[in-house]
Structure 1
Amino acid sequence: MKMSCRRAFDIHYSRSTVQLQVGDSLDIFWLGCAGLITAEANPVPQRPRGFERHSAPFGRDFLQHPRASGWKCPDFIRRSVVVEVDDVVGASHAHFSGRSGMRPPHGGVVRIAEAREKLAVGDAVGALAALRSALEANPSREAQTLAARALRRLDRHAEAAALLAAAFEQHPDDPIIAHNLAAARGDAGDHAGAAVAARRAIQLRDAPESWLVLGRALQAAGDLADAQAALADAVARRPGYIDALKTLAQLIWMRTGDPGAALEPLHRALLASPSPDLAAMTCGVMRDISGPDEAYRFIQPWTGRGSAAVELAASAAAARLDMASQNLHAEAAVALAPTLAEAQHALATGQLAQGRLEPALEGLERWLALAPHDQIALGLQRTAWRLAGRPEALDASDYSRLVRVYDIETPPGFSTRAAWLDALATALRGLHSFRAEPFGQSVRAGAQSRTDPRWAGDPVIDATFAAFEAPLAAYVADMDASDPMGARAGGARIAGAWSVKLTSGGRHSDHVHSRGWVSSAFYVAVPEPVSSDPRAGWLRFGAATLGPGVELPPEHWVEPRPGRLALFPSWLWHGTEPFSGAGERLTIAFDAQPSGT
């Protein structure tokens, strides 16, 4: 199929993927190799292994084995493949210089190809730099979409939403832009705007992904019944849609606290569209709301079939029952997916629980050499040091240095401290719509806010977060450059926040924050003290449950007081002592990341 370069661009910008045939003459093959389109080699005597019929971008294996299965690879294809896997700009120009009568692509296209490559390797900052000139004057749809993707990866969601809104004005009938705009607005806290854009995307193309975005936006806005209906619509359009199923089950659980009602859509989906990933997700939900015994019985028939997700789910369920079984599943997960962080965490946890300290330490050191900012691995390493009696283990002076307490001054505009905290408590309670905790979180016998408090648009909450800026900056500025946190110091930004409400019997299980760098707890209201248990409800550090009967006691505590902010490393094990007194424990928590990440 012969096409001009201009015609190829027209098709590319109107569709997400273009299929081409590699014949005797393909003037625009470089587009596919730059990642802008995919190509099908047809007709050919034989296709190389892995060369799919419908949409097969050329990859590194194809480059290294150009004549696999007897198929003769034209030399210009080999040169072009380098565009995808090595150097976008250099290979693109080299390809054109090797074909007489062809001109290299103009600078905007090369910049877009370069941005795609940088995004593929996680370099969002580099992608934005590559797109700068392409965005300056009359930016293309492709440049706007890629720039928005890079901004979202940097948590610059408001900027991404503004860019996508401009793109949508230029392309009002593009369902992909409408969908991405809805998602970006939701991440930026504009839940009403997200719902509007999601509904427009659904009008343009009735896709389950847009129904999921709509459901999440409605849930965050407090329209829980409509949110549940939208999520059910997403599942109706794709019965095995795991993200929508989990979000739906979680919403039902948080609204009702009924395990059977929450699990019903998952079991129905397993009958209609069984898959290992869906089974693994269902096992995780069952573990959280029905208990590890039921979860492990459910997942056992799925094990041993080559799914790392299933083995990890089985490992997590068995971790509360039998560490020998936990370790077997963790080893299977690592064998299937050695670069999966969760598999490495599960293996190290099982080894520590069984007293196999040296293998655990060696494995954690190898993993941290590859992923030095893995917060869970850092926490497990320090637990291993403690179990092994190593000199690097944390002591009292380390806890005093790592855990800092700040009694926040009353923000301007409030007559008294009590008036500020009372107004703040009232505002936060308005965000608590649920009866039960979300899946996979540390909350026990409590609930979490339906949205990030920063997106509530409440002046009291906004003033409170403004008051966090000075202590957070002071904490980061005082970091020790020799520890894993200090090596990344240089400013911080809040990446996510939430509020938790606990009543009598509620607590946080001991955990670390996998997506944080600096974590926090700010106390708005605390329960009445109980004389028989002076540390009831206190924030504790160092306690960790590695398996049945393998529990490390806490080593440090912080007394909660209204208006107090505690800051600490995200890798530091922390939880709360349960409390039984009257009243509620109402908190704000946030995770911060280094500025510019």
Structure 2
Amino acid sequence: MIVDWKPALAEARSALALGDARRARRALSAADLDPDAPDEALKLLARALRSLGETAAALPLLERVARRQPGSAIAEHNLAAALGDAGRQADSEAAARRAIAKGGSAPETRLILARALLAQGDLDEAEVWFRRALDLRGDFLPAVRDLSQLVWMRSGDLSRTLAVLEPLKALAESREDAAILRASILRDTAGDDAALASLVPWLESGSVEVLLAAAAAASGVDPQRALVHARNALTRAPGDPRAGIALAAALVATDQAPEAATLLEGLLDRDPGHQHARALLYTAWRMMADPRALTSADYARLVRVFPLDPLPDLDRLSRTAEALRALHPFKAHPFQQSVSAGSQSFIDPRTAGDPDINQLFRSLEPAIDSYLAEAAPAWEGSPGGTAWRMSGAWSVRLRAGGRHTDHVHPRAWVSSAVYIVTPGPSKPGSREGWLRFGAAPVGNGRNLPAEYWVRPEAGTVVLFRSCLWHGTEPFTGPGERLTVAFDLQPGTTS
């Protein structure tokens, strides 16, 4: 039977142009099982699936296209990108190298290769390929960001990082996106003052994106300036939820909780699953002494500690710790993360290929199932239930003075801390190194007092709602704090 694919292809193209990946998937659903489906149908269906976070389902489609087009660098490039998204970094590296060998000259292919190498821990080779991407296109901003982050994390040296950014400084004089990227990197390396100063030339003529970047930078040094920039951003883009969040955060930071609460309630009516908005609303209610604010009973219900099952013996914990340390070759924190004076792995521990790490993740499943059954945390905007999938995992290593700044996970459901190694004893009566909840940041380096704490203990996992402000108390004693963390989303059990 000959199938006329033209209507389905037209429907899918139209849907994707409008950002409706679900409609595109419906239009081309038959392509998955049709051995004669045209390449264009396979590629568009794969694109829709990847947009929906269903990368594993997209891979067979892209593999079919690559087999049908054995000389195509583009087909290999597309496959390499999807393999990287799926966490199959060695396969992504191989596909990217095939694309280059077949004549692929795009800097994007070099970026995919560099990221795959980085995820496998080959830092020197990753740096080489980031630089090769920039040799092909000096203003390729994703490569600028990734290279500067790699240099920063490997060295912790501001001057070396700024040297990577030097070409971006000139570009930022004429390109807004370059100015915003430069400010973002400066926030993570040189500090908020430097970031805010770099944006000043763009504030009058800049877009909502500039105003949001300025509001973020000002939040750390001058909440009133952050408020001005956030109000201007929302005036220019009344329907942009990012502007609404920025304004709500600035209102909280300037002790205008009632106005913040009204704004946040409207945001949550439109997007019930936005965990940052929910966290800010809980903060505003707390500042207003509203009875809807979180109580100690809420924390006791939503924050739970479980032993790993089976409980690992000291030998297994020691082996797991050694395997995790191998994922931490860095001297400084990554960009736009909560880690301060510590390192966070680029390598997803689930793909590290270590048997003890693999066993660690298997031992988490009973705790997750128990938490979801007992705590029954609502996922606003979803049908509910206890099925779950792990949407990301990482490892963090802190030494004396290191900590997590207080934060939330805006698009997660349940978050975690799995303790592998904990610091040595702290001062009597001290909570040094403990996980804390409720210390919401309210601007200019200020936090509300924490409301709930959990003492870290090796061989346990703490599970909690992702909308709860959480961080760590700094510790000054000996040893290290070595953890694994992950986020859960409602969905098919992983």
Aligned to 1:182: 80
What is the Cα deviation at residue 175 of structure 1? 2.9
Does the alignment pair 1:111 with 2:21? no
- Give the AA of the match of 1:337: A
Q: Which runs of 4+ in 1 moved over 4 A?
A: 117-126, 479-483
> Structure 1 residues 353-362 or 386-395, which shifts more?
353-362
What is the Cα deviation at residue 177 of structure 1? 2.0
What is the Cα deviation at residue 166 of structure 1? 2.1
Aligned to 1:484: 380
Aligned to 1:408: 308
Aligned to 1:303: 203
Q: 1:372 aligns with which of 257, 272, 287?
A: 272
Identity of aligned residues (%): 44
Contact 1:538–1:577 (8 Å) recurs in 2: yes
Aligned to 2:61: 163
- Give the AA of the match of 2:143: A
Aligned to 1:418: 314
What is the Cα deviation at residue 129 of structure 1? 3.8
Aligned to 2:451: 555
Aligned to 1:384: 284
Larger RCO (alpha carbons 8 Å, 6+ apart) = 2
- In structure 2, relative to structure 1, the CA distance for the partners of 1:409 and 1:554 (3 Å cut) is same
State the secondary structure of the residue aligned to 1:589: strand
Does the alignment pair 1:148 with 2:37? no
Does the alignment pair 1:209 with 2:105? no
CA distance in structure 1 between the partners assigned to 2:186 and 2:229 by the alignment: 18
State the secondary structure of the residue aligned to 2:442: strand
Q: 1:225 aligns with which of 99, 115, 124?
A: 124
- Show CA shifts across 1:112-151 (max 9, x none): 3334444455554554343232222222212221232233
Aligned to 1:255: 154
Superposed, which structure 2 residues align to 1:484-503 within 5 Å? 484=380, 488-503=384-399
Aligned to 1:136: 33
Aligned to 2:244: 344
Contact 2:338–2:406 (8 Å) recurs in 1: yes
Aligned to 2:167: 268
What is the Cα deviation at residue 487 of structure 1? 5.6
- Give the AA of the match of 2:54: R
CA distance in structure 2 between the partners assigned to 1:244 and 1:445 by the alignment: 25
- Show CA shifts across 1:8-57 (max 9, x none): xxxxxxxxxxxxxxxxxxxxxxxxxxxxxxxxxxxxxxxxxxxxxxxxxx
What is the Cα deviation at residue 475 of structure 1? 2.0
Contact 2:369–2:386 (8 Å) recurs in 1: no
Between structure 1 and structure 2, the one with the greater Rg is: 1
Q: 2:181 aligns with which of 270, 274, 281?
A: 281
RMSD of Structure 2 on Structure 1 (CA) = 2.2
Contact 2:155–2:331 (8 Å) recurs in 1: yes
Contact 2:350–2:358 (8 Å) recurs in 1: yes
- In structure 2, relative to structure 1, the CA distance for the partners of 1:480 and 1:460 (3 Å cut) is closer
State the secondary structure of the residue aligned to 1:193: helix
Contact 1:303–1:310 (8 Å) recurs in 2: yes
Aligned to 1:33: none
- Give the AA of the match of 1:508: H
Contact 1:449–1:498 (8 Å) recurs in 2: yes
Contact 1:522–1:564 (8 Å) recurs in 2: yes
Contact 1:410–1:417 (8 Å) recurs in 2: no
CA distance in structure 2 between the partners assigned to 1:338 and 1:479 by the alignment: 36
- Give the AA of the match of 1:410: P
Superposed, which structure 2 residues align to 1:424-439 within 5 Å? 424-439=320-335
Aligned to 1:78: none
State the secondary structure of the residue aligned to 2:50: helix
CA distance in structure 1 between the partners assigned to 2:381 and 2:483 by the alignment: 24
Gaps of 5+ in 2: none
CA distance in structure 2 between the partners assigned to 1:580 and 1:190 by the alignment: 38
State the secondary structure of the residue aligned to 1:551: coil
CA distance in structure 1 between the partners assigned to 2:262 and 2:82 by the alignment: 41
- In structure 2, relative to structure 1, the CA distance for the partners of 1:481 and 1:471 (3 Å cut) is closer
What is the Cα deviation at residue 173 of structure 1? 2.6
- In structure 2, relative to structure 1, the CA distance for the partners of 1:571 and 1:142 (3 Å cut) is same
- Give the AA of the match of 2:252: L
State the secondary structure of the residue aligned to 2:410: coil
State the secondary structure of the residue aligned to 2:432: coil
CA distance in structure 2 between the partners assigned to 1:382 and 1:291 by the alignment: 28
TM-score, with structure 1 as normaliser: 0.78
Contact 1:434–1:450 (8 Å) recurs in 2: no
- Show CA shifts across 1:410-464 (max 9, x none): 36xxxx6112211111111111121111001000010011210001111111111
- Show CA shifts across 1:477-518 (max 9, x none): 334476738864341100100000001110000000123111
- Show CA shifts across 1:280-314 (max 9, x none): 11111111111122222222122121322221221
- Give the AA of the match of 2:204: G
- In structure 2, relative to structure 1, the CA distance for the partners of 1:120 and 1:384 (3 Å cut) is farther
State the secondary structure of the residue aligned to 1:495: strand
- Show CA shifts across 1:338-387 (max 9, x none): 33333222110111111212221111111112221111111101111111
- Show CA shifts across 1:541-592 (max 9, x none): 0001211264201101111101111111111100000001111100000011
CA distance in structure 2 between the partners assigned to 1:549 and 1:143 by the alignment: 52
CA distance in structure 2 between the partners assigned to 1:130 and 1:268 by the alignment: 45
Superposed, which structure 2 residues align to 1:396-475 within 5 Å? 396-410=296-310, 417-475=313-371
Aligned to 1:51: none
CA distance in structure 2 between the partners assigned to 1:550 and 1:517 by the alignment: 26
Aligned to 2:215: 315
Aligned to 2:409: 513
What is the Cα deviation at residue 106 of structure 1? 5.3
